[in-house]
Amino acid sequence: MTAIDNAPARAAAFLERLSQAFARNDSLLCVGLDPEVGKLPAHLKGLPPAEAIVAFNREIVDATADLVACYKPNLAFYEALGPEGLAALRRTMVLVPPEILTLGDAKRGDIANTMRLYAQALFDVYGFDAVTASPYLGRDALEPFLSRAERGVFILCRTSNPGASEIVDLEVDGEPLYLAVAERVRRWNDNKNAGLVVGATYPRELAAVRERCPELPVLLPGVGAQQGALEDSVAAGVDAQRSGLLVVVARQVLYASSGRDFATAARAAAQALRDRINRVR
């Protein structure tokens, strides 16, 4: 299987490329390309599922590429369709303009030799600019990702789901585990390519993470269907340059309309969200 080649666009260090992506469209918006076949507009449902997904993603990207900093496919939505779904993912990656970042939401975490192959798959085969990963096997497990200075690694810290509290609020040396994770990631950031995942459902915790790690970029899920506090989280999560935050939205953009005008509606939803974010910045 051949790799997706965007090498010229990836010559710079990841943090520099992320800053350029924020500035290019004056946007902190990250649209999740997470299509569910059953939720696609009716006129696409007659196509084979993988073809329908590619057609849907093409229109979403065409409609929103001048409004976003990043697109974030969650691999589960493609893996669930088997080989055809993974082929649809590769075809989707080609649709994204090279100046827009792509983030593979894979949440990988395993021992180092396995992670080396995950890095090869996600960065070299699928061509992602950044990925999500788990911290719980430690730095040696993450090294195959962290060693790639031109690629980003957003590490789970304080996720948006309610059940995360069972783990991330456990006390470690007098502070919650999520702050201990944030501190470790800050120390691991030798190549300036590490970031944190913190949910918009917990703006107070996000503010604590930002205070602890003022220089790390943050991936912010939980806006929209999970009812995260957009304005509060943006205010808490931006860095000293009023940047450094990727605000993830998916369903409220992808499914803004179920009709043939879905791409137009997606653009309007994305623009409204970008403008709300920028008003807080």
**On the CB side of 143, how many CA atoms lie within 13 Å of its CA?**
7
Helix (H) or strand (E) holding 237: helix 230-237
Which residue among 39, 45, 72, 107 is the active-site one?
A: 107
Reported in sequence order, the residue ranges of the chain that DSSP labels E, i.e. its strands, are: 29-31, 70-71, 101-108, 130-133, 152-158, 171-172, 175-176, 194-198, 218-220, 245-249
Clarify whether 72 is annotated catalytic: no
Rounded to an integer, what distance in angstroms lies between the CA atom of residue 190 and that of residue 168?
Answer: 24
- Count of Cβ atoms closer than 10 Å to residue 85 Cβ: 18
Q: In which residue are the tokens 């390309």 written?
A: 33
Q: In which residue are the tokens 């000293």 written?
A: 240
The catalytic residue positions are 107
